[in-house]
Structure 1
Amino acid sequence: MTATGDSSPPKTIQIKVVGDACAGKTSLIHRYVTGEFSELVKATVGAEFHTSSAKMDGVEYPIQIWDIAGSYRTHQNVTTQFFRRSDAVMICCNASQEDYFHNVVDWRNMVTDFAGPDVPCVLTMTQIDRYVPERNWQAEFQGIAPFDGFYQTSAKDDVGVTEAFRELIRMSFTFVTTRKPTFSRTSATTSNTITESIDIKSLRENNKKPCCKKQ
């Protein structure tokens, strides 16, 4: 059985993870796909992706989780290519940085412009083991940009990481099978049943340069 009911292979689900430099994207992905945390993670140069798989309704879908360098926010030609064929997007912001919210709206606008207004998009705060804002950050962002979910995570302490990715994958399945979001823009859940089969393979390795410590 396949996603289309014929002999063609199921679509590869593309999850894009974006955010400013040192937003904790690479550490977050590394924790999810390997279950491990490393203090030695370096800044991504260019883009790379990892693969896993997940089942929905008995069909096993390959999944690509992409990590793009934060500096690419200013390179429209690069971001246009990167966001193309996205099935879901996670925007990350670093709780330990005072201006963590600075470019979130810009990233959200790029998702809308280059991936499409209906592509599921969630906002994930990283490094909450170091600092959690006292103000209601979810309400602030909900008032200025549409998001399909908000998550607080710590790759170091393994808090909220699996939950955030699993819900985003659920949203991507809904989007892929209907080509429109059937979930509320203020909700992070759908009714799809998913069984993960995590068999991660790094399909692209780039030269990396040191960055701030990520968690």
Structure 2
Amino acid sequence: MELPKVIQIKVVGDACTGKTSLIERYVTGNYNEALKATVGADFHNKTVRMDGSEYQVQVWDIAGSYRSHQNITVQFFRKSHAVMVCCNASQDNYIDHVKEWRDMVTDFAGEDVPCVLVMTQIDRYTPARNWQDDFKGFVPFDGFFQTSAKDDVGVAETFRELIRMAFDYLGSRRMTTPYNRGSSSVPFEESVRLDSFRQSQKKSCCKK
């Protein structure tokens, strides 16, 4: 069985954690403080090359509003090949919310799908600290990253690592062997953005 030509990355997390800004920074290289909140779901495509073949990476931006959080269903996570859970330490009860999102990924995407935790907007915190310590012992993730879409810190590295995990995951499915969680080493090249899709309208929100 060949790898699918479309690799689906799902980005989830509470509202106003900067998911859209993170995706825009990765896909277009730009940062826009005036971005509006996602309602429903959007996706952006980016081309990557692996082993001489081109693949579309489809990065889904899923609304983090309270209503969407409660009513999110299996179709949003269908065919997920990797998932990114975003969080912001300035929000109340963010650790509990991270656990809820992680449980949702397990329930709807599957427990074997690679899932990483991403701390966003670290430019707001001086000095920086290691938030990873807040999640030790109770939230299982395959990686932890700290990012700033505004300052372009850690964004490309985070997506590249998650895409490598997705390729490893798909490769393990192709070989009918369990996904081996850990460091990934699949090389690939990024190309230009192909297009973007809007499945929803936008509404104003806080700055990302």
| TM-score greater than 0.5 by the shorter chain | yes
Superposed CA deviations along residues 81-129 of structure 1, whole A, max 9, x for unmatched, are 1011100000000133354323000000011111000100000000000
Q: Number of paired residues?
A: 202
The alignment yields a C-alpha RMSD, in angstroms, of 1.9
Letter of the structure 2 residue corresponding to residue 193 of structure 1:
P
Shift of 1:63: 1.2
Q: Which residue of 1 aligns with 2:70?
A: 74
Tell me by how many angstroms 1:197 deviates.
1.3
Q: Give the whole-Å Cα distance in 1 for the aligned partners of 2:164 and 2:60.
A: 17
* Residues in 2 aligned to 1:132 and 1:93: alpha-carbon distance in whole angstroms: 17
- Quote the Cα distance in structure 1 between the aligned partners of 2:60 and 2:126: 26
Gaps of 5+ in 2: none
Whether the 8 Å contact between 2:5 and 2:54 is mirrored in structure 1 is no
Q: Equivalent of 2:180, from 155, 179, 182? A: 182
Give the CA deviation at 1:191.
1.5
- The corresponding residue for 1:112 is 106
**What letter corresponds to residue 101 of structure 2 in structure 1?**
W
1:210 corresponds in structure 2 to 204
Corresponding residue number in structure 2 for 1:92: 86
SS of 1:103's partner is helix
Between the aligned partners of 1:199 and 1:135, the Cα distance in structure 2 is 33
1:25-49 Cα distance to aligned partner (Å, 9 max, x none): 0000010001010010110011010
Most deviating of 78-87 and 38-47: 78-87
* Equivalent residue for 2:131, pick from 116, 129, 137: 137
The answer for the alignment partner of 1:59 in structure 2 is 53
In structure 1, what is the Cα distance between the partners aligned to 2:202 and 2:149?
Answer: 19
Match of 2:195 in 1: 201
Q: Relative to structure 1, is the Cα distance of residues 133 and 206 closer, same or farther in structure 2, using a 3 angstrom cutoff?
A: farther
Q: CA deviation at 1:134?
A: 6.7
Residues 84 and 117 of structure 2 are in contact (CA less than 8 Å); yes or no, is this contact kept in structure 1? yes
**Residues 83 and 111 in structure 1, CA contact (< 8 A), matched pair in contact too:** yes
| Long gaps (5+) in structure 1 | none
Q: For 2:166, which of 169, 172, 178 is the aligned residue?
A: 172
Local SS of the residue matching 1:129: helix
Q: 1:11 to 1:125 in 2, by over 3 A?
A: same
Deviations for 1:128-151, whole angstroms, at most 9, x for unmatched residues?
A: 000268764213323111111100
